[in-house]
Structure 1
Amino acid sequence: MDMLNVEIISKEMIKPFLPTPDHLKNLELSLLDQLAPQYNVPLIFFYQNENLSSFNISQLLKKSLSRVLTIFPPLAGRIQENLYLDCNDIGVYFVEARVHAGLEQVIKEPRMEELQQFLPVEPLGQTDDNAILSVKINFFDCGGIAIGVCFSHKITDCASFVAFINAWAATCREEAEIIRPTFDLPIRFPPTALAASGVGLSVGITKGKIMTKRLVFDKEKLAKLKQIGTSNEVQNPTKVEAVSAFIWHCMIEEARAKPNMKKTSFAAVHVVNLRPRAIPPIPGHAFGNCWGAAFAFLSQTEDSRDLVSKLRSGIREINDDYIKKLQNGDYSSDLSKWIDFSKNDTEVCNFSSWCRFPIYEVDFGWGKPIWVCTATTPFKNMVFLMSNQSGDGIEAWLNMSDYDMEVLETHYEQLN
């Protein structure tokens, strides 16, 4: 199959409409920002469009982006030495491109090498001036649009970023009220000198070859997986628990089947949003990284059929006590687990669920997206879970070796 032809039209920097006020010029990174991995998180929003010209859309997006940046100044600034954000209004990297193909042609049978072309930068790449946010507007011949965005995980998590994207969309629609973010997470989670030194920054990141594929779990598959995951301990598995347990089980059994198996244990790590778990809850509009890692373990000899209860138990440990430890600068427990994984040759599977984030509500004025996806990230055995457009299914985006992907796809096909 021929490679998609994506032609770059223009590149520029979009600056905030108003200068950032002095009291927001320098923002400390929080402890959780300091510990966050340095890479670009990719999201691509696909829209149908039959009414607006590419010129009008371009002008609307640029004007509204400039205006919304005045209330999200970190995204137009630059990171300084894992210590603070210099909100210097340098701006957001903004690219426009023409796609010489139809929108339906791309999303009907998505290919990762094509999806990557809709992004402004690589996951481990950066612009010449280290932009925190990069945007690429792709105009299809049919009138359809793909908005590819990459944001630095160093300053924000997906919950905050989706809030920003929705604020940008609301600004584009000229909504009267926009939920303004707060920047007090460094007060809640004060930075530390040790974290500033870069301890833990590259955990899990690889520059080796990784295959990325999507597995779609419709409501029939989810019902089957929830039935499989039901036990005396957990009688009502969630969709996320059921899919996570299925993927983790497949990876465990695949590892155990290898003739040169040396793994002594297995672990699943689930990223958990801390905001609703704090007492009292941290507001959803608190901007920045606000997540913790929930761990579940299985020994070499344990049965891998009842994994849902292990996942749920691990996630329940992310409570107010856990959050208070982080607020006191104590992240040694999480760090020691990662070190032990390496020492003990533990097989780790990582999960991040975006299912509760309103990614399908991002409406710039020409309708809600018909599809939202992610792309390759530089983490082996990393799984991102996203709701489908109707909300009754889950799309799992898996990053792993060719061999592991082949085995997992075989298990997936057996669900039919």
Structure 2
Amino acid sequence: MEASVQVISKEIIKPSSETPTHLRKLKLSYLDQLSSPTYVPIIFFYEADELRGLNSTNQIQISQQLKQSLSNTLTVFYPLAGRIDQDGSVIDCNDAGAEFIEARVQAQLNDALQEPIIEQLKHLAADATAGTLPGAALVAVKLTFFACGGMAIGVCVSHKLADCASVMTFLNAWAASCRGEAEFPRFSLDLANYFPAREFPDYHSPRGTNENKIVTKRFVFAKEKLEALKQAATSPSGSNVKNPTRVEVVSAFIWKHFIDVANSENRDAKKTFVAAHPVNLRGRTIPPLVLENIFGNCTMGAIAFFNASNGEFHDLVTQLRSAIKKVNEDYITKARTGDNFLNEFSKLVTLLMNGEIELCAFASWCGFPLYEVDYSWGKPISLCTSSGLPVSSCTLVNSRSGDGIEAIINMPQDNVEILESQIKLISSTPTQINSSTS
């Protein structure tokens, strides 16, 4: 998509009803405090149909419908219309509103998605780092109409207040409101009651230490490749992996590539490699309903370490599985008032800042129906996201068909090119997948 995106208008959308005085202050949990203040951008792409097209009147109606339904939704999700206070521990639910940007691009939607260049598609959402600015809106929406009548809806929500589960709760409610449905989902804003705020006087969210330019690219692991990866994880001699999940094998494959490339660049250095995989705490407590409808950053990072110079694929799957399983009922209970999670998090940040580890951050959105977000003009035909931080990372989402996984990778350019060649070579031969890329 070589055409530039032209911004037509910017405005602030406020809740349709004023937030009551007794709800004006929302305390953040310490899990929220530890989250990055950047936006989490998700861009949904919708095809033109007989209701839309080049008719400017239809586009005005679509824009107004989205704005009005957003206003109605913000009345229920009132913290998203607020602002973060100076010390970062409270949301001032002052109805300051969400940012709404309308834009046009002289390009065809199909052309933009044929061989998507994520670096260019990023312009269809607000700048991810804008969320770090003082007084920034917690929600920023960018509606872009293509020349063909198709459109992109780029939604950015501050990570300081919401994880993917919370963002999806908000998006589904907004889409339902836009379709004319009056019911809103039930959710709780009590996360701080379970994980009370802490004092972190010198804490700043880790920004990463990678000096190379980070680029973003999307790869699709079709059903056949997923089956090949599962076979490679279970069949070698010495493997104790049983019934690996799609997320486990894709994450391990990308982590293995990351390790192999790093070792090939500096064979003499003894490095510790770390994979961080956020775990959704909802449903992991006993009883499971305790945190089920919680809004906020109800996640903890599962941290997997690997010290070997050449990691076998099945070993990495094992390490990831063990780290994720560690975040269980007992671990969560201790983390509510204890320091077990905070100590591990602090250690990770210190090692990262001191350059003692090589970090690859993962996030799995595979459990969320992103391809079901329908504002009344049909379901998205494609979507993308990106990281606002200069670290190697990967976001996993279900493919549109549901039987594959899309991996949105953020890595240095050279790493991405090597990874692309390795993905093409995935076959049903386990030894090929387990072999080093160096």
Distance 2:120 2:302 in 1: 33
1:377 corresponds in structure 2 to: 388
Query: Which residue among 140, 147, 151 is the counterpart of 1:145?
Result: 151
1:182 is matched with which residue? 188
Q: 1:347 aligns with which of 358, 370, 394?
A: 358
Normalising by structure 2, report the TM-score.
Answer: 0.89
On the 8 A contact 1:124/1:378 being kept in 2, the answer is no
Change in Cα spacing, 1:247 to 1:65, as seen in structure 2 (3 Å) is same
Structure 1 pair 261–409 and aligned structure 2 pair: CA distance change class (3 A): farther
The percentage of counterpart residues that share the same residue type is: 46
CA contact (8 A) 1:381 1:400 kept: yes
Aligned partner letter, 2:42? L
**Hey, what does 2:111 align to over in structure 1?**
105
Asked if residue 65 in structure 1 is aligned to residue 70 in structure 2, the reply is: yes
Deviations 1:94-152 (A, max 9, x none): 00011211111111111123201101223355678411110000111211110001111
Structure 1 contact 47–367 (Cα < 8 Å) conserved:
yes
Q: Is the 8 A contact 1:26 1:85 kept in 2?
A: yes
Cα drift, residue 403 of structure 1: 2.2
Task: Confirm or deny that 1:221 pairs with 2:225.
Answer: yes
Aligned pair count reads: 413
Distance 1:71 1:226 in 2: 43
1:353-409 CA distances to partner (integer Å, 9 max, x unpaired)?
011111111111111111121124314111111111111111111111122222222
2:260 to 239, 244, 253: 253
- How do 1:197-236 and structure 2 match up within 5 A? 197=201, 199-204=203-208, 209-230=213-234, 232-236=239-243
What are the within-5 Å matches in structure 2 for residues 41-60 of structure 1? 41-50=40-49, 51-52=51-52, 53-60=58-65
Q: Which amino acid aligns with 2:327?
A: I
Letter in structure 2 aligned against 1:144:
G
Instruction: Tell me the equivalent position of 2:415.
Output: 404
Q: CA RMSD in A?
A: 2.0
User: Within 1, Cα distance between the matches of 2:69 and 2:213?
Assistant: 38
Name the CA distance, whole Å, in 2 between partners of 1:344 and 1:54.
Answer: 50
**Residues 44 and 198 of structure 1: is their aligned pair in 2 closer, same or farther, counting only changes over 3 Å?**
farther
- Give the structure 2 partner of residue 323 of structure 1: 332
User: Structure 1, residues 49-104: CA drift from partner, whole Å, max 9, x if none?
Assistant: 32041111111100100001011011110001211000000100000011211111
Change in CA separation of 1:41 and 1:269 when aligned onto 2, cut-off 3 Å: same
Looking at structure 1, the residues matched to 75 and 209 of structure 2 have their Cα atoms a distance apart, in angstroms, of 33
Cα deviations across residues 321-360 of structure 1 (Å, max 9, x unaligned)?
2212221052112222332355572222111001111111
Cα shift readout 1:144-182 (whole Å, capped 9, x = no counterpart): 110001111111111101110000001111213210321
Q: Partner residue of 1:291?
A: 299
Structure 1 residue 204, shift from structure 2 partner: 3.1
Deviation at 1:303, TM superposition (A): 4.1
CA contact (8 A) 1:262 1:345 kept: no
The aligned residue for residue 159 of structure 1 is 165
Alpha-carbon distance in 2 for matches of 1:93, 1:127: 14
The equivalences for 1:64-143 within 5 A come to 64-80=69-85, 81-124=87-130, 129-143=135-149
Question: 1:313 is matched with which residue?
Answer: 322
CA–CA separation in structure 1 for the residues paired with 2:266 and 2:281: 40
Task: Report the CA distance between 1:278 and its aligned residue.
Answer: 1.8
Q: Which amino acid aligns with 1:5?
A: S
Which residue of the partner structure matches residue 403 of structure 2?
Answer: 392
Conserved? CA contact 1:298–1:304, under 8 Å: no
C-alpha contact (below 8 Å) 1:263/1:346 kept by paired residues: no
Unaligned 5+ residue runs, structure 1? Answer: none
Task: Find 2:374's aligned residue among 363, 370, 382.
Answer: 363
Is there any run of 5+ residues in structure 2 with no aligned partner, and where? 53-57, 428-438
CA deviation vs aligned residue, 1:177-235 (integer Å, no higher than 9, x gap): 210321100101100113xx252522537686211111111111111111111154222
Q: Is the 8 A contact 1:163 1:285 kept in 2?
A: no
Is the contact made by 1:263 and 1:345 (CA closer than 8 Å) also made in structure 2? Answer: no
The alignment partner of 2:396 has SS state of strand
Q: SS of the counterpart of 2:380?
A: coil
Question: Is 2:175–2:374's contact at 8 Å kept on the other side of the alignment?
Answer: yes
